[in-house]
Amino acid sequence: MKTNILLVGGRSKAKSLAISLTHKGYHVTAINENYEDCIKLAEIESVTVINGDGTRPFVLEDANAPEIDIAIALTSKDEDNLVICELCKKKFFVKKTVALLNDPKKTDFFYSMGVDSVVCATSAISNIIEQQAFLDKMATLVPIGEGRVSIAEVPIVETSPVIGKKLWEINLPKQVVVGCILRGDTTMVPRGDSRILAGDMLVLISSNQQEVEAIKELTGR
Amino acid sequence: MQSTGNKKADETYTIVIGCGRLGADLANRFSDEDGDVLVIDKSKDAFRKLSPSFGGLTVVGDAMDFSVLKEAQIERAHLIVAVTDNDNANIFVAQLARQTFQVPRVIIRLYDPERECVYHTLGIDTICPAILSANAIYKILSEKDGQPS
């Protein structure tokens, strides 16, 4: 049986999520209050679209909420997203609920009210912008754990000051480890005496936003 | 009558959220009974509905914002009445008050009674205007019917 996913609200986010999820083989139902947004969502093949207020129990019922496996609340209002998740959870027993949140200070409150996963758009986007502004193509960063930890891919170019050095000779911040070295077609989990060569790709795992310093140390920029 | 002097459990301090007709009327009554009352509304103009003799405080802001609730000294509140015209906002504030700030009594207005099932477990009292009105009309009708006989 297909996994049923419910998307409530959200304009472009709902559409791109719906496209991506249907491609991955999930069945997507979308609820949207705005009629025009509904028409746009209905352009996607095999998505069920319902025009209505997703914070109302009977609208959720129309969306067959009891059969939903994952409910994702994407509206622009924090209070609506909380109510959507709570109704899904407590009235329709949806297994997993995800809420988009604008105000990062409310993250703990959302978790304490039983929302399974809280995505804070504001802090996630500002983190990414900050990282992009500082690093500009030098590295790819993936924030995890609400941005407290990040995994970074750092290419070692020929001008890098660390070429030929052993890992323990490099002065990396304490909160950073090199988790993997990608060299050509091989991957290796490095030890302290592993040497870094030009053309290597290092995978860094760092916490407490130490990655910028580490990347500077590795690339010399 | 003074409370026991415990600052945290202020026996009379009430916060009214939403200064519409209902919110303003409640705030006026609490104030008339010499209660310690504070009203929050997004719009400054809403406070015009308060009577000239209103002796409480007002705060302009969004009650879903932590900083506004702190400014209103929510941790001191004994009772919160959330009567904005937005059901979900009332629900949100009520849960925040109960869960995060442990306010002893919370009463909210909900236009849509269908959502109620989710909240009664949290110790939040809800009132629904449609149900109250229907009851009142029904009562008037049954009294009228009863009179001639």
Contacts of A106 in chain B (CB under 8 A): 66
CATH label of the domain that carries residue A74? 3.40.50.720
Q: What is the pLDDT of residue A133?
A: 72
In a domain, B67, yes or no: yes
Q: For residues B60 and B50, what is the distance between their CA atoms, to the nearest angstrom? A: 14
Q: Are residues A79 and B117, on separate chains, in Cβ contact within 8 Å? A: no
Kindly tell me if the per-residue pLDDT of A37 is higher than 80. yes
pLDDT value at residue A154: 85
Domain identity same for A56 and A147: no
Residue A150, CA distances (Å) to A71, A124, A210, B2 in order: 26, 12, 9, 55
For residue B8, pLDDT over 80 is answered with no
In this prediction, residue B35 carries a pLDDT of: 86
Point out the domain boundary residue: A87, A122, A157. Answer: A122
* CATH number of domain containing A160: 3.30.70.1450
Instruction: Give contacts of A 124-183 with B, CB under 8 A.
Output: none
- A117 shares a domain with A143: no
pLDDT, tens only, A164-209: 888 888 888 888 888 899 888 888 898 888 888 888 888 888 887 7
The DSSP bridge pattern shows strands A149-155 and A201-207 to be: antiparallel
| Residue A53 contacts B where some CB pair is shorter than 8 Å | no
* Cross-chain residue pair B115–A56, CB shorter than 8 Å: yes
Residue B125 contacts A, CB cutoff 8 Å: no
Per-residue tokens: A154: 């750092």
pLDDT at A215: 81
What whole-number distance in Å separates Cα of residue A5 and Cα of residue A30? 8
In this prediction, residue B2 carries a pLDDT of 40
The region of weakest confidence among A48-52, A168-172, B5-9, B23-27 is B5-9
Question: What is the mean predicted confidence (pLDDT) over B125-144?
Answer: 91
Is B138 contained in some domain?
yes
Examine the domain organization and report whether A103 and A206 are in the same domain: no
> Which residue in the set B86, B100, B117 is minimally distant from A109, CB to CB?
B100
Assess whether A108 and A35 both reside in one domain: yes
Among residues A95, A122, A149, which one ends one of the domains?
A122
Residue A131 lies in a domain: no
Does residue B105 sit within a domain?
Answer: yes
Q: Which residues contact A86 (CB under 8 A, 6 or more apart)?
A: A113, A114, A115, B118
Whether the per-residue pLDDT at B68 is higher than 70: the answer is: yes
Question: Tens digit of pLDDT for each residue in A84-133?
Answer: 999 999 899 999 999 999 998 999 999 999 999 999 988 888 877 777 77
pLDDT in tens, A38-55: 999 999 988 999 999 999
CATH code (residue B72): 3.40.50.720
Per-residue pLDDT, A73: 96
Say whether pLDDT at A151 is over 60: yes
Mutate to test the interface with A, among B68, B84, B103, B118 (most CBs of A within 10 A): B118
Percentage of chain A exceeding pLDDT 70: 96
Contacts of A87 in chain B (CB under 8 A): 115, 118
How many CB pairs below 8 Å do chains A and B form together? Answer: 48
Q: Kindly determine whether residue A58 and residue B114, on different chains, have CB atoms separated by under 8 Å.
A: yes
A159 pLDDT band, cuts 50/70/90, is: confident
CB contact under 8 Å between A79 and B112, yes or no, is no
Same domain, A41 and A14: yes
Q: Tell me, yes or no, if A35 comes closer than 8 A to chain B by beta carbon.
A: no
- Residue B7: what pLDDT? 45
Instruction: For residue B4, tell me if it sits in a domain.
Output: no
* Same-domain check for residues A76 and A99: yes
Same domain, A27 and A87: yes
Note whether A86 and A162 are same-domain residues: no
Q: What pLDDT does residue B1 have?
A: 39
A101-105, A143-147, A148-152: segment of lowest average pLDDT: A143-147
A130, part of any domain: no
Lowest mean pLDDT among A56-70, A116-130, B49-63, B74-88: A116-130
The better pLDDT of the pair B19, A2 is held by B19
Nearest CA in chain A to B122: A113
Q: What are phi and psi of B72, to 5 degrees?
A: -80, 5
Q: Do A46 and A116 fall within a single domain?
A: yes
**Do both A20 and A84 map to the same domain?**
yes
ipTM surpassing 0.85 = no
Q: Does A13 touch chain B (CB under 8 A)?
A: no
Q: How far is the C-alpha of A30 from the C-alpha of A44, rounded, in Å?
A: 11
Note the helical H segments in A43-147. 57-62, 78-86, 107-112, 121-135
Domain interval for residue A113? 4-122
Summarize the confidence of residues B90-100 as an average pLDDT.
Answer: 92
Residue A136 has pLDDT above 60, yes or no: no
Instruction: Please judge whether B92 and A90 are an interchain contact, meaning their C-beta atoms are less than 8 angstroms apart.
Output: no
Check whether residue A95 and residue A13 sit in a common domain.
yes
Chain A hits for B66, CB-CB cut-off 8 Å, are: 105-106
Count the domains in chain A: 2
What is the rounded average pLDDT for all residues in chain A? 88
| A55 plus A143 within the same structural domain | no
- Under the banding of pLDDT at 50, 70 and 90, the label for residue B123 is confident
The count of domains in chain B is: 1
Measured between CA atoms, the residue of chain B closest to residue A110 is B96
Question: Residue B49 sits in which domain range?
Answer: 14-146
pLDDT of residue A184: 84
Put simply, whether A109 touches B (Cβ < 8 Å) is yes
pLDDT band at A64 (very low <50, low <70, confident <90, very high): very high
Interface test with chain B among A80, A83, A93, by most B beta carbons within 10 Å? A83
